[in-house]
Structure formats: structure tokens, C-alpha cells
Amino acid sequence: MKMDLPRPVRVSLATVLALFALVRVNYGRYPQDDKSAGQTEKRPWMNTSLSPDERADLVVKEMTLDEKIDLLHGNGMPGWGKPRPTAYLGNGGAGFVLGVPRLGIPIIQMSDAAYGVRSSAENGRYSTALPSNLGSAASWDPVAACEYGTLVGRELRAQGYNMTLGGGVNLTREPRNGRTFEYMGEDPILAGTLVGNRVKCEQAQQVIGDIKHYAVNDQESGRNEVSAVISRRAMRETDLLAFQIGIEIAKPGAVMCSYNAVNGEFACENKYLLTDVLKKEWNFKGFVVSDWAGTHSTVKASAAGLDHEEPFDHFYGAQFKEAVQSGKIPLAELDDHVHRILRSEFAAGIVDNPVKKSVVDAEAGLETSRKIAEQSIVLLKNGPGVLPLDPAKIHSIAVIGPHADTSMISGGGSAQVDPPGRPAPRWLEHVWFPTSPSKAVTTAAPGADVQFDSGTNRESAVALAKKSEVAIVFVYQWTSEGMDLPNLSLPENQDVLIEQVAAANPKTIVVLETGTAVTMPWLDKVAGVVEAWYAGSKGHEAVANILFGRVNPTAKLPMTFPRSEADLPHPNLVTPPPGVGDHGPEGNERGAKPAFEVHYDEGLKVGYKWYDAENKKPLFPFGYGLSYTTYAYSDLKLKPGKETTVTFTVKNTGSRSGAEIAQVYAAFPPNADEPPKRLVAWSKVRLNPGESKQVSLTIDPQFLNVYDENASAWKLVPGSYTFLVGASSQDLPLQQKVTLQ
């Protein structure tokens, strides 16, 4: 076959020199910062004894208008639109922000890091996948949340990133939300406390932390077009309270505003949310960054409090510069945006300690992931003599379920961590992490005959179950950003598979790999149920350790599991009307308005508060989780005052060491017009067999306040309060009244 070879291209010496000069100019824009002696005199903002605010002010005074504008927007991201001329400066993550090299201000390199560092470059192959945020929330443990954030922050820096985009804290108001696995459950006090500790510890690794998606971004359906309609009181006591608590604890460098509108105004140009509440009332010092292509305007968004547009410069590039030059945007407003971004850089330490790539400590990451997974797995059902399994007494085990021989499912979208040993996943691809449950079961029970069946052919799965002493069925539910679930049923007829296996083997144990709650029509027919969530890089080992009793389960549900969708506040998911799409991948139309509404008329009644108020019995209540030991509660005492103290005793009445998550709820006076009760405190109490401990918890006064819309303020409603203590929102054996003034 004759081949036409390309002709050599002749390039003049002048052209070569010009190209070389261009490369030198572009590369020279971002040299390593000069650390020579005397730089503090030349650059007084490098004086680390100054506050982040003072240092930011000094830099702002030295910046040109173009340098300021460069800080207000991103420069694209891989796979989204045409690469920009500056694309070579990116690190393969979600985006980057040009620095000011002549002033020693570095590039901000961002990565999505919901449950591990995501990167579209080669870096991502070394990331640890932690359990999902929803899973880690089941630990109810601020220490575990801190360990989670520390690992993510450390791996971010090792991979060349100095900003995380992973602190999701939207409440589980709509459990079919495809991003439920990215968040911390349905209670604002629990969710806010955990995300705050996570982000605080991320930032301790010298990365800029982020809390998102602000606010009321509680569904994915029509997320670019929907307006969440909700009263201010309901919003302040639910969704916004989670943000408030998280921001108070973490003091994050950034807050990401969401795609949706709230009460008719898009979140990224909503003055009430961004300025009145976030920046003024909460005294937030960091910067507000838009969700990707979530900006709708220039002048309006800037005045409302949006500081930075991602991932492009549609509104915060040339249009912003023109608006400043024409006087439509005051120079002081521009300088405030720039100050906030610089302040966050100084506060996080990314100016004084520029990020340098290093080898990711994969072994340490895997160990942390396993330990957190073990604290996250919830034992939902345990028949007599079923769990833990005794490897010395079991001779045959059937491991059944899709991929249970090789892998476990993970959550999708921008949160998706790249699995090792394969190319970066495509958008909305089902990604299975190479963590083999059957291998882990075989290792845990070396004397047993462990056989696998995928369940694709239910007849063969049933035959295997029938001849085995124990059948462990691994089932999954995949969820992702950009979608909501049509229902809470397991997909692909897995309910039928479970029922048929359970009919063949009375010792059937179901392991759920899910991103949210699922309905369980087969619950009464199985011997045990374990909720493993998306369990991360070492999920298989964590599950096996729970099943075989190497680890005593301690986790409790951070969300309610309903019996059916009919019991939800919105039995039918509110979706966009026909013909309504989003604003497109290259940014939203100027002046665009939300196209439909979802009315959160349930108001304060989110999660367990809805089930309490409506007298609906859930499948599994908020705060529920079993152990291989038992606990007893006694001796409740209350000490009212400015800070009410609740004291009680917990005793381990079983034969195994364990840790009980003791929960305290408060029922408000009738005239407070609150749901029946509210979680106000909890403690993880570690106990040996027969051991008792007295627990004393001081209630944060904020957690006993209600929001007064008329006064735009929080207040305590004087009257009789009942404090309830126990193992879950539905198991509260200790109750006592007290008058609070």
C-alpha cells in the first residue's frame, strides 16, 4: 500500500526564535517565588506576623486592574469547552485561578474531593477513596471527620492542589437526590458539626477549604432551573443552620453557591444569602465561589456578594473589567472580592508554603479509609445467632451479587475518585472499585468453602445459597450528581434476587452498597442487614471485619429510611416541566430566571422531624444502629442555666467491648411551634463489658433557639422543655422536664 508521507515543514529561524520567546514569556509569568533574603522588605505582605487581612490589604494596594480581574474567575477545566491559552498551567483538576507571580501570589489549583481527590490527570490514580460523606456521617464522630479531612488535605497537596471543593452539607430533605451520598444526612446540627470538623482539618494541611452548595440545593432534577420556595424561618433552622454550624467550626476559605434559585433569586446572585446572612450576620471572611457555570450576571452578582466565577470568565472577565471602568461596579466592591480571595490564601498558608508534588502515602490512606469505613457501617438487622459469623463453625459460604467477586460500587459525578489501574472514568459511568468482597470473606473464614455467584442467573444463585450454610448477598444502588433516583428501590430486580435467596437459605445476610436509603420489601425474610454505603478503597475488608466480629459495629443512621416513597414529604419527585433544560455548558444566560418551583411546605419537618410530626413509622429511624453488645441508660439529671447540662449513665450490659452513640433530644414548649423534638447533643461512649460511665453534655444555647422571622433573630422560647436520652430518635428511655427562661 502506497502511503503519502507528510512533507517537511520549513520554519524560518525568526519564527523559531519568536515561538521560543513566547514560551519564555508565558513560563516566566509563573516562576517559583523568590525566597531570597530581604523579600519581606520588598514585599511587606510576606511578613507572617501580620494577620491575613493585613497581608491581603497590602497586596491589593499593589495590584493592577488586570491582576485583580484575573483573581475573579477560573481558566477552564479539562474536558469542558475549548482549552484556554493558559491551560498548560492547570493541574488536571476542576479548575485553577491565575496567581500574581510578581507579588508572590501562587496559582490556586482546585480539585473536587468529596470522598477523595479527583483528578483528570495522572495524579488521580493514587487517590484514596474514603467512605462516602453520608457513610462517614454514620460514625457520628467529629474525630473521624477530622481524620477524613486530614487525609484528603494531605493527598491534595501531594498531588499539587491547594484548594478543595469537597465540603458538601446540603440536608437530606429529598432522599432521592443523586448527591445524597456526598452530604452528611438530614439533621443540621449533626451535619454541620461533622462537615465543620472535616473542613477544619483539611485546612490544617494548608489547603483552602470549601463548604457547599449554598443553599437549599436539595435535589438534582432541574438544578439549574429550579427555585426552592421555603420560608425564612424554615430555611434558617434547617438547611442554613447546617452551613452556619460548619462555617463557625471550620472558618473555611470559601463557600460555594449553588445552581438553584432560592425564593426566586439564583443562589449565586442572592443578596440575602450571600451578603445579609453569610457575610454580615455570620461574619464570613472568605470568598464565595460559584458552582461551575452557575453565574448568571456581572453587576447583580457582584453586588449580591459573589466573589469568584468558575470555571470561565463569561461574567467576571472582560465584562467585569468594563463594569468597573464605567463605574457600574465600584472599585471598593472589586477590592473586597480580591481581598477575600487573598485573605483565604494567606489564612490557609498556601502563600507561605507553596504546594509541591510529592509521593502519595497510599498505605496510610488505605489504613485510614478502612478504619473510617468500620466506624461507618450500620448493622440494621441481626437475627438470633446470626452475626457475628464464627469462622471456626462455618464450613460453607455463598457470596452472591453483581461484582461481589471483584469490586464494590462508588458514587458518581464530580465526586468520583479515579480507581487505580484504569483510565479516568467517563461522566456518569458506573465505577466499581477493585475491592473484592468475596476475597475478604475468604480471608476472614479460611476454613470455609467460599463460592461466588453474580446473581445474574437467579436459579444458579439460589442453588448455591441452598447448599451453603450462610448466604451473603451484596446489592447496590448507584447514584450520581446530575440525576435523581426515580424511587428508592434497588435496581435491576435485586429485590427479587434477595427474596429468592432468602427463601433458599434462612441464614441470608444482605450487605447494602448504597448512596441513600432503600426500601426493603424482603426485610422480614432475611436474617441480617448491613448498610455499608459506598465504602471506599478498603470497604471489602471493613465489611468482612464487621460480619465476622473483628470489629463491633458502632455506626448509627444519619438519615431516616422510609418504608416507601409514599411516606416522604414529597411522594412524587418535583421535576422540570416539558421543554425545560439547563442554560448550557458554557454558562448561563444573562438575566435568566428559574423555570419552575419546588415548594418545601414541610418547612421545619425535615427527616425524623417529619416522621415524628406526621406520626409515620419509618423502616429504620434516624440515629438507629445495632451492636454486638447491649447498653442500658439510667440516672438522667438536668442542670438548667445559660448552658443546660444533661447528665446520664450508660452501661454495657453485654459480653463485648463496644461504643454507644448516646443521643440527646429536646422537645420544645408548644408555643414554640416546633416539630416534636430536635437533636441537641450526642456522645460516643466506649465501654468494656459490664462497664458504666457517667456522661455529661453541655447543650449549645444556639441549639435550643428558634428563628423569629419578624425580628430576624434567634431567640429562646421560655417554657417547659423535655430532654430525652437514648439510642436513637425512636428509642429514648430517659425523659425529664425542665423550665428554661
C-alpha–C-alpha distance, residues 623 and 653, integer Å: 20
Helix runs in 505-605, H state only: 539-547
Place of cell 459480653: 655
Question: What is the reported pLDDT for 15?
Answer: 39
Sign of the CA dihedral running 59, 64, 69, 75: negative
Over residues 503-531, the pLDDT tens digits come to 999 999 999 999 999 999 999 999 999 99
Q: Are 526 and 502 in contact (CB under 8 A)?
A: yes
Dihedral (C-alpha) 43, 44, 46, 47: value to the nearest 10 degrees? 150
584 pLDDT more than 70: no
Grid cell locating 309: 466565577
440 with 544: CB under 8 angstroms?
yes
Find out if CATH 2.60.40.10 is the number for domain 629-740.
yes
Contact 94, 254 (CB under 8 A): no
Are 680 and 664 contacting, i.e. CB atoms less than 8 angstroms apart? yes
- pLDDT value, residue 40: 76
Single out the residue of 393, 429, 384, 438 nearest to residue 411, CA to CA. Answer: 429
Which of 577, 573, 615 lies closest to 594, judged by CA?
577
7-21 confidence digits (pLDDT tens): 333 434 343 333 333
Domain boundaries, the chain: 367-565, 629-740
Segment 297-313 shows an average pLDDT of 98
Inform me whether the pLDDT recorded for 656 exceeds 80: yes
- Give dist(CA 543, CA 550) in Å, integer: 10
Q: What pLDDT, on a 0 to 100 scale, did the predictor assign at position 421? A: 76
CB 184 within 8 A of CB 141: no
pLDDT at residue 491 is higher than 70: yes
C-alpha 268 chain-centroid distance: 20
Buried b / exposed e over 534-551, threshold 16 CB at 10 Å, is bbbbbbbbbbbbbbbbeb
Q: Which of 291, 313, 418, 484 is catalytic?
A: 291
- Range with lowest mean pLDDT among 422-431, 584-593, 662-671: 584-593
Interhelix angle for 362-376 vs 142-158, to 10°? 150
**How far apart, in whole angstroms, are the C-alpha atoms of residue 156 and residue 350?**
12
Residue 66 a catalytic site member: no
Dihedral class, residue 513 (left if φ above 0, else alpha if ψ from -120 to 50, else beta): beta
DSSP 276: I
Q: Tell me the pLDDT band of 144, cut-offs 50, 70 and 90.
A: very high
With H, G, I as helix, E, B as strand and everything else as coil, classify residue 286: coil
Looking at domain 367-565, does it have CATH number 3.40.50.1700?
Answer: yes
pLDDT for position 122: 62
Q: How confident is the model at residue 588 (pLDDT cuts 50, 70, 90)?
A: low
Please answer whether residues 180 and 515 qualify as being in contact, where contact means their C-beta atoms are separated by less than 8 angstroms: yes
Instruction: Indicate the pLDDT class of residue 427, thresholds 50, 70 and 90.
Output: confident
215: preceding bond cis by omega (within 30 degrees) = yes
Kind plus residue range of the DSSP H or E element containing 150 = helix 142-158
Asked if pLDDT for residue 22 goes beyond 80, the answer is: no
For residue 418, pLDDT over 90 is answered with no
- The pLDDT assigned to 291 comes to 98
DSSP calls for 457-493: SHHHHHHHHHHSSEEEEEEE---BTT-B-S-SSPSTT
pLDDT at 29 over 60: no
Q: What is the mean pLDDT of residues 66-82?
A: 93
Distance CA 380, CA 555 (A): 10
Question: Is the per-residue pLDDT at 601 higher than 60?
Answer: yes
Q: Which of 508, 426, 434 has its CA nearest to residue 466?
A: 508
- The model's pTM: 0.94
pLDDT at 591: 57
150-156 mean pLDDT: 98
Residue 145 has pLDDT above 70, yes or no: yes
Interior angle at CA 168, CA 167 and CA 173, nearest 5: 160
pLDDT in tens, 366-405: 999 999 999 999 999 999 999 999 999 999 999 999 999 9
